[in-house]
């Protein structure tokens, strides 16, 4: 249909989700475990998307909603219209990052994700010590979980040295072709 | 040589705005066989029709083509006019210059040419038209009504009062249907049984109505006016002629814990039972699946108790064959149970009920004698949550439609609860409020404004049980999605209305259409709500789609009038545009080779086999024969016939060919 | 019998005991686990939250490796890895996406690998054996916690049921335990917020523990390393949100089964837990 606006149109193209299906029943919000912590809950986010205005879209990208969403999929599991809200959230997160419109609350969460991915890029697997170090450097939470680390080490759950995979180059290439690819930044 | 009259209508401006009607009339006059041609502003009007009649008489026309609107609009009008002027009505055809031409094209040369082509095609057809006589089929003036709820009761009474015989069959031991299970009805809060039971008694006592309960349709054959129905009278194990309805057997039956269907599983009944005290007929049947005697050969206490010896252990199902002329299907609907909802507990929480179960609690003749009590511990709930749209409007659960009655009965339930438990707190979680009927909106406002029911707009994600309470996790979308949690004592789900069990099998037995949800299909959603696509079979009530009582009663009376209309003639007149298998001189008799592919193909079971016998009585050949009462003129058989022995009168192969050739030889 | 095995990062690190228990009961049930060689991290939450193509390519590499190494079926004990691999396999049914991702990973990919979680592995291959070999019935009243990623999205995973799942409950019954009916079987524990928003994990996991404690569960049984970590390692933060601190242990389903089969607690890694496991 030619009368679909750009925001809904792009969303449809990249996630196959048609926002016009949402009839604002609120079942997603009712079952969302973190709705009370969000700037606005998932059903409200869907309504903002439905309006199709740049102003409301900006509100969404700058919200903490998209970063607090855990992708637990409870919403999709109960939605009578089977709207893939988690997929929409992933898409909005990528957009929020690419357009550099991050909510301040999201900074530690993004810091964690970035440190996690760095660990994979450099070793092929999760290197917990590297992850924590990177996270602390990015978030300045220097004393967080300090008490926990020794106990983890005693329980044999913390490796001091990373385990590198053989084909680390192959993994590095995956990164350079996707998230580190400057061409795909402004989708 | 044909003498055809052509009449081009302007249809006000509908046709003349884009088609040059005058020119079409002029050009068509030049075609061989056209004796007379004019154009006029409104052919269907009185002066217009007079023009046609006068022309027929003055010019001795033997065929008429009216170039105007769709035949679906005015074919009967023009055919009647021709008949009045003495011309066989089937020598009149219409060329659709409006829906097929003027309305879909711009004004211009091409449009006028197309209009001319269309008229010329019909002229070629009419040259080959033969005068036909309407077909007359005899009618049995007896109706069969299947289903004894309010729809069936109303339809039966209306048909019976119109002076015709009715057979009413009901599969349960009593008539009354779901309406007998309700406590009060919206929007008046009339006691449901009080308004229903007088009608039930009227049905039982009406001289024109024969009532069979515990009976089902076994098979149906035939066609409109001439159906043969086989009705299975299930073995009641109690001879109702001897039984006086004293009820002694019910008291003594040792099997007392069978979940009562009438009480929607909330109460129990015995194996020998009457579904409810006001049942019609008020005599028991034995549920053989739960009776000690039929299961294990023991007991027989009812027989010992019965003062009139009415128990018949060895009675078997009986098949009754009846000839009827029309059938009204009023088999009603069902509602989804609480076990349909994973997020509301899969039916394991005793205090999560369906709307129908709540009706039984509220009903004075219910398991709690009208007191709202929790099934789990018998206490009176102080906080009750009603969840609307439970299952309806839910494509994920396979039910995308709205069940229509739930908004109203939820408001009713909340009101009844507030009237019975003055200090109770009720909350309704809704998406929309659909209260379109007369006095319906005012009724819902009453619930909100006078009875202070809390209406929260939002759905409920889940319900779970903790420490004897039901935790309801909902949301208020009007407050930007604020989560709402209620610790309720009882939750009532307004579950989706669905088709009755066995609906598909019944529809297939009767050869009527049904939709993907197994609701029976009406012939036209707007203009033919009480008819089916099968002539002679009518529909009323919730078996067609969920609906409330006034609509059901209206439809039932509508169906009854259709039946009475059918029965007002001694013969049925049908359009003769049906298939006919050719006959020719002996020794061939017919080009039909007797392969009967047409019989297999016919969607209306309208083709029979006819034996052509010689003078000595021996069968020479068996050929196909079309039953003029059933044939709908669809033409499938014509397409299938390998020997081209079957053709449609009025739409013969020759006529179709002539139309196409006229178009090609432009 | 042999089956492919993808441990994933947490089984090698912070949830080492899950790995130990899976290996221990596999041995007891005559299942040989063939670990995928040179496997990489599946990307977990971080990848799909940040970049779609990355989130599909990392798991695709794993699946391509498994196929190249001749494996037909792979068991994935970590619920998050299982979810990512299944979702990736589903998304790559789309031709355009598949061709883009195969370009990125530069490996052939057919998408025919059968991916199962540890519960499915036990259901398909070991139910009878478990029944026979139980020597110490696990006679405890426990709350089975499924978490999010094993069950949802149902359309793709097609495993158990979305509300009130029963597969772990059935397994507990099989080894002599009594699973309770409770309300938080599938409510999220806080997932990947363990480090970045520990307060939210404390709140969400707190709700779960509270319900289990209210219903007198002696332990919580899990099948996801993240859930175990949140409910166990973060017990300190959780206890600060509860009215009464809880000491209910949280163990993996494989550890519970291991105990019933007579495997020693040490071999099952039960001594690595933060909350003492006394069962």
Dump pLDDT digits (tens) for B624-633.
Answer: 999 887 788 9
Exposed / middle / buried, residue B189 (Cβ in 10 Å: 0-12, 13-18, 19+): middle
Cα(B409)–Cα(B355) distance, integer angstroms: 8
Summarize the confidence of residues A176-183 as an average pLDDT.
Answer: 87
pLDDT, one tens digit per residue, over B187-212 is 999 999 999 999 999 999 999 999 99
- pLDDT attached to residue B81: 96
Cα B344 from Cα B386, distance rounded (Å): 12
In this prediction, residues C186-207 reach a mean pLDDT of 93
Cβ separation of C39 and A93 shorter than 8 Å?
Answer: no
pLDDT in tens, B570-582: 888 888 999 999 9
Structure-token pair, residue B417: 């609860």
Range name among A136-145, B29-38, C98-107, C194-203 with the lowest pLDDT average = A136-145
Contact between chains at C188 and A72 (C-beta distance less than 8 A): yes
Which B-chain residues 340-379 have CB contacts (< 8 A) with chain C? 342-343, 345-346, 348
Instruction: Express each pLDDT in B109-162 by its tens digit.
Output: 999 999 999 999 999 999 999 999 998 888 999 999 999 999 999 999 999 999
Report the pLDDT value the prediction gives residue B85, as an integer from 0 to 100.
95
For the beta sheet containing B63-68, the strands, ordered from the edge strand earlier in sequence to the opposite edge, are B34-40, B4-9, B63-68, B92-96
Could you tell me the two tokens for A8?
A: 């809904």
Residue C39's closest chain A neighbor by CA?
A165
Tell how far CA B177 is from the center of its chain. Answer: 17
Mean predicted confidence (pLDDT) in A26-30: 96
Which one, of C30, B23, B392, lies nearest residue B6 by Cα?
A: B23
**Tens of pLDDT, residues B291-316:** 999 999 989 999 999 999 999 999 99
Peptide bond into B187 cis (omega under 30): yes
Tell me the pLDDT band of A185, cut-offs 50, 70 and 90.
low
> How high is the mean pLDDT of chain B?
94
Residues C53-73, mean pLDDT to the nearest whole number: 95
Question: Which residues fall within 8 angstroms of residue B565, CB to CB, at 6 or more apart?
Answer: none
Q: Are B581 and B624 in contact (CB under 8 A)?
A: yes
C positions 107-146 inside 8 Å of A (CB): none
B464 close to A (CB below 8 A): no
Give phi and psi for B348, each to the nearest 5.
-85, -15
Record: contact B467-C214, CB cut-off 8 A: yes
Which segments within B332-481 are labelled E, that is strand?
A: 333-335, 352-354, 383-390, 425-430, 454-457, 462-466, 469-476
Element at B661 (helix H, strand E)? helix B653-664
Antiparallel, parallel or unpaired: β B63-68 and B92-96: parallel
Among partner residues B342, B346, B464, which is closest to C183 by beta-carbon distance?
B464
Query: In chain C, whose CA is at the least distance from the CA of B461?
Result: C163
Pick from A117, A157, A179: which is nearest to C13 by CB?
Answer: A157
Q: Is the pLDDT of residue A102 over 80?
A: yes
Residue partners of C204: CB distance under 8 A and separation at least 6: A33, A34, C187, C188, C189, C190, C230
Residues facing B626 on adjacent strands: B607
- The continuous run of DSSP H or E covering A175 comes out as helix A168-177
Res. A186: pLDDT tops 60:
no
Kindly give, in sequence order, each residue whose CB lies less than 8 Å from that of residue C119, ignoring residues fewer than 6 positions away: C150, C159, C160, C167, C168, C171, C223, C253
User: Which of C244, C257, C219, C218 minimizes the C-alpha distance to C118?
Assistant: C257
Residues 6+ apart with CB under 8 A from B208: B159, B160, B161, B163, B164, B165, B166
Q: What is the structure's pLDDT at B264?
A: 95
CA dihedral B569, B574, B575, B579 (to 10 degrees): -160
Where on the phi/psi map is residue B75: left (φ > 0), alpha (ψ -120 to 50), or beta? alpha
Closest to B557 in 3D by CA, of B63, B155, B101, B91? B155
Q: What per-residue confidence (pLDDT) applies to A143?
A: 80
Angle at B330 between CA B325 and CA B336, to 5 degrees: 155
In the predicted model, is pLDDT for residue A187 greater than 60?
Answer: no
Average pLDDT over residues B238-259: 93
Rg (CA), chain A: 19
- What tens digit of pLDDT does each residue of B583-595 get? 999 888 899 999 9
CA angle A117, A118, A122 (to 5 degrees): 120
Phi-psi region of B546 (alpha: psi -120 to 50; beta: other; left: phi over 0): beta
**Residue A129 has what pLDDT?**
83
> Across the interface, do A26 and B477 touch by the CB < 8 Å criterion?
yes
Residue A184's pLDDT band (boundaries 50, 70, 90)?
low
Contact between C45 and A114 (Cβ < 8 Å): no
pLDDT of amino acid C147 = 92
> Which pLDDT score, from 0 to 100, does residue B201 have?
97
**Of A79, A37, A31, A40, residue with least CA distance to A60:** A40
The yes-or-no verdict on residue B65 having pLDDT over 60 is yes
Q: Do A24 and B474 touch (CB under 8 A)?
A: no
Would you state the structure tokens that stand for residue A103, as one six-digit string? 């909510």
Residue B175 has pLDDT above 70, yes or no: yes
Lowest mean pLDDT among A3-7, A167-171, C25-29: A3-7
Chains that touch B (3 or more CB pairs under 8 A): A, C
Let me know: does B476 contact B484? Beta carbons within 8 Å.
Answer: yes
Contacts for B640 with CB less than 8 Å, ≥ 6 apart: B597, B598, B600, B601
Give the span between the Cα atoms of C194 and A109, in whole angstroms.
10
Q: What is the rounded distance in angstroms from the CA atom of residue B229 to the CA atom of residue B172? A: 19
Among C164, C183, C214, beta carbon nearest to B342: C164
Residue C41 is encoded by which pair of tokens?
A: 């991290």
pLDDT of C151 > 90? The answer is yes
Block residue for tokens 């083709």: B607
| H/E element, B6 | strand B4-9
What DSSP designation does B457 have? Answer: E
Distance from C-alpha of B385 to C-alpha of B469, rounded to nearest angstrom: 12
Whether residue A80 is predicted with pLDDT greater than 80 in this model: the reply is: yes
State the Cα–Cα distance between residues C142 and C133, nearest whole angstrom: 21
**Which chains neighbour C (Cβ–Cβ under 8 Å, 3 or more pairs)?**
A, B
Task: Tell me the count of A-B CB pairs closer than 8 A.
Answer: 75
Are B141 and B166 in contact by the 8 Å Cβ rule? The answer is no
Q: What is the predicted pLDDT for the residue at B73?
A: 86
Chains in touch with A (3+ beta-carbon pairs under 8 Å) read B, C
Report the pLDDT value the prediction gives residue A140, as an integer from 0 to 100.
Answer: 83
Which residues pair with residue B213 across a beta bridge?
B170
- Say what the pLDDT of residue A161 is: 80
Token pair, residue A180, equals 């580190």
Q: How large is the average pLDDT for residues A123-149?
A: 84
Quick one: pLDDT at residue B658?
A: 93
> Is B398 in CB contact (< 8 Å) with chain A?
no
Is C183–B346 a contact, with Cβ atoms under 8 angstroms apart?
Answer: no
Instruction: Report the complex ipTM.
Output: 0.90
DSSP state of B20: -
Contact of A141 with A135, CB cutoff 8 Å: yes
Asked if B400 contacts B442 with a C-beta cutoff of 8 angstroms, the reply is: no
Torsion of CA C210, C212, C216, C218, to 10 degrees: -120
Report d(CA B459, CA B387) in Å as an integer.
Answer: 7
Region of B378 (left: φ > 0; alpha: ψ -120 to 50; beta: rest) is: left
State the average pLDDT over residues B615-642.
90
Percent of residues, chain A, with pLDDT higher than 70: 97
């Amino acid at each position: 249909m030619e009368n679909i606006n750009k925001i809904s149109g792009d969303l449809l193209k990249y996630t196959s989700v048609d926002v016009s299906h949402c009839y604002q029943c609120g079942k997603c919000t009712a079952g969302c475990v973190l709705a009370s912590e969000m700037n606005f809950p998932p059903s409200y986010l869907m309504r903002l998307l439905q309006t199709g205005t740049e102003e409301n879209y900006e509100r969404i990208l700058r919200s903490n909603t998209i970063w607090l969403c855990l992708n637990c999929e409870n919403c999709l599991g109960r939605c009578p219209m089977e709207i893939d809200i988690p997929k929409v959230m992933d898409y909005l997160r990528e957009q929020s990052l690419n357009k550099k419109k991050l909510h301040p609350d999201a900074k530690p969460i993004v810091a964690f994700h970035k440190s996690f991915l760095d660990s994979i890029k450099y070793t092929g697997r999760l290197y917990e010590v590297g992850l924590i170090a990177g996270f602390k450097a990015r978030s300045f939470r220097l004393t967080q979980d300090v008490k926990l680390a020794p106990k983890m080490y005693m329980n044999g759950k913390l490796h001091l040295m990373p385990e590198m995979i053989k084909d680390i180059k192959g993994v590095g290439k995956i990164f350079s072709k996707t998230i580190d690819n400057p061409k795909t930044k402004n989708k | 040589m044909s003498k055809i009259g052509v009449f081009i209508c302007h249809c006000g401006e509908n046709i003349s705005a884009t088609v040059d009607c005058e020119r079409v009339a002029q050009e068509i006059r030049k075609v061989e066989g056209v004796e007379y041609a004019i154009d006029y502003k409104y052919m269907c009007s009185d002066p217009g029709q007079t023009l046609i009649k006068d022309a027929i008489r003055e010019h001795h026309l033997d065929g008429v083509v009216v170039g105007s609107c769709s035949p679906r609009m005015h074919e009967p009008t023009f055919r009647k006019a021709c008949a009045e002027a003495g011309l066989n009505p089937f020598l009149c055809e219409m060329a659709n210059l409006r829906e097929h031409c003027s309305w879909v094209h711009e004004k211009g040369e091409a449009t006028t040419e197309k209009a001319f082509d269309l008229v010329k095609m019909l002229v070629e057809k009419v040259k080959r038209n033969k005068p036909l006589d309407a077909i007359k089929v005899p009618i049995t003036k007896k109706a069969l009504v299947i289903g004894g709820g309010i729809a069936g009761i109303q339809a039966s009474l209306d048909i019976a009062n119109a002076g015709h015989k009715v057979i009413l069959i009901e599969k349960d031991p009593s008539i009354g249907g779901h309406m007998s299970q309700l406590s009060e009805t919206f929007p008046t809060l009339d006691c449901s049984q009080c308004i229903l039971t007088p009608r039930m008694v009227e049905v039982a006592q009406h001289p024109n109505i024969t009532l069979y309960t515990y009976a089902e349709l076994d098979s149906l054959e035939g066609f409109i006016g001439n159906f043969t129905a086989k009705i299975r009278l299930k073995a009641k194990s109690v001879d109702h002629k001897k039984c006086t309805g004293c009820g002694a057997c019910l008291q003594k039956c040792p099997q007392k814990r069978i979940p009562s269907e009438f009480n929607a599983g909330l109460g129990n009944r015995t194996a020998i039972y009457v579904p409810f005290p006001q049942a019609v007929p008020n005599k028991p049947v034995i549920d053989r699946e739960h009776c000690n005697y039929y299961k294990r050969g023991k007991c027989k206490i009812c027989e010992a108790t019965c003062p009139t010896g009415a128990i018949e252990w060895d009675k078997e199902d009986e098949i009754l064959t009846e000839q009827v002329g029309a059938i009204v299907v009023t088999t009603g609907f069902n509602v989804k149970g609480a076990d349909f909802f994973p997020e509301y507990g899969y039916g394991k929480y005793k205090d999560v009920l369906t709307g129908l179960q709540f009706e039984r609690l509220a009903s004075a003749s219910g398991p709690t004698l009208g007191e709202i009590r929790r099934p789990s511990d018998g206490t009176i709930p102080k906080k009750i949550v009603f969840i609307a749209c439970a299952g309806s409007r839910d494509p994920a659960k396979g039910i995308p439609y709205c069940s229509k009655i739930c908004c109203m009965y939820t408001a009713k339930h909340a009101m009844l609860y507030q009237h019975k438990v003055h200090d109770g707190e009720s909350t309704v979680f809704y998406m929309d409020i659909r209260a379109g009927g007369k006095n319906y909106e005012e009724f819902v406002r009453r619930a909100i404004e006078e009875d202070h029911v809390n209406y929260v707009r939002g759905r409920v994600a889940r319900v779970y049980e903790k420490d004897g309470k039901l935790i309801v996790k909902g949301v208020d979308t009007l407050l930007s999605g604020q989560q709402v949690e209620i610790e309720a004592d009882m939750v009532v789900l307004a579950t989706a209305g669905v088709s009755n069990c066995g609906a598909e099998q019944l529809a297939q037995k009767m050869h009527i259409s049904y939709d993907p949800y197994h609701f029976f299909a009406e012939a036209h959603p707007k203009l033919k709500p009480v008819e089916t696509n099968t002539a002679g079979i009518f529909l009323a009530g919730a078996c067609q789609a969920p609906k409330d009582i006034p609509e059901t009663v209206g439809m039932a009376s509508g169906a009854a009038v259709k039946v009475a209309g059918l029965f007002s003639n001694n013969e049925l007149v049908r359009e003769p545009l049906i298939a006919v298998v050719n006959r020719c001189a002996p020794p061939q008799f017919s080009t039909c080779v007797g392969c009967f592919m047409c019989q297999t193909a016919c969607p209306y079971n309208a083709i029979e086999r006819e034996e052509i016998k010689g003078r000595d009585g021996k069968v020479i050949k068996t050929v196909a024969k079309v039953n003029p009462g059933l044939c709908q003129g669809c033409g499938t058989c014509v397409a299938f016939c390998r020997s081209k022995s079957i053709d449609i009168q009025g739409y013969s192969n020759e006529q179709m060919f002539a139309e196409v050739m006229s178009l090609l030889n432009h | 019998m042999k089956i492919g095995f993808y441990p994933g990062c947490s089984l090698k690190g912070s949830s080492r005991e899950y790995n130990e228990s899976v290996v221990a009961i596999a041995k007891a049930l005559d299942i040989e686990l063939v670990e995928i060689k040179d496997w990489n991290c599946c990307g977990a939450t971080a990848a799909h939250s940040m970049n779609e193509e990355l989130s599909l390519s990392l798991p695709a590499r794993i699946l391509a490796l498994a196929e190249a190494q001749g494996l037909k079926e792979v068991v994935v004990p970590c619920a998050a890895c299982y979810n990512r691999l299944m979702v990736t396999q589903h998304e790559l049914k789309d031709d355009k996406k598949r061709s883009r991702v195969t370009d990125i990973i530069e490996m052939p990919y057919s998408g025919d690998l059968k991916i199962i979680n540890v519960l499915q592995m036990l259901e398909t291959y070991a139910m009878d054996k478990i029944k026979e070999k139980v020597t110490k019935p696990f006679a405890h009243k426990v709350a089975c916690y499924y978490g999010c990623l094993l069950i949802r999205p149902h359309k793709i995973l097609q495993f158990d049921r979305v509300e009130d799942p029963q597969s772990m409950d059935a397994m507990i019954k099989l080894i002599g335990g009594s699973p309770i009916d409770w309300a938080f079987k599938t409510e999220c524990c806080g997932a990947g917020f363990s480090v970045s928003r520990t307060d939210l994990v404390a709140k969400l996991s707190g709700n779960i523990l509270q319900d289990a404690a209210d219903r007198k569960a002696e332990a919580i049984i899990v099948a996801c390393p993240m859930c175990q970590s949140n409910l166990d390692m973060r017990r300190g933060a959780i206890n600060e949100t509860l009215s009464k601190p809880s000491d209910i242990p949280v163990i993996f389903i494989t550890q519970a089964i291991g105990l019933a089969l007579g495997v020693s607690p040490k071999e099952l890694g039960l001594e690595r837990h933060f909350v003492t496991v006394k069962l």
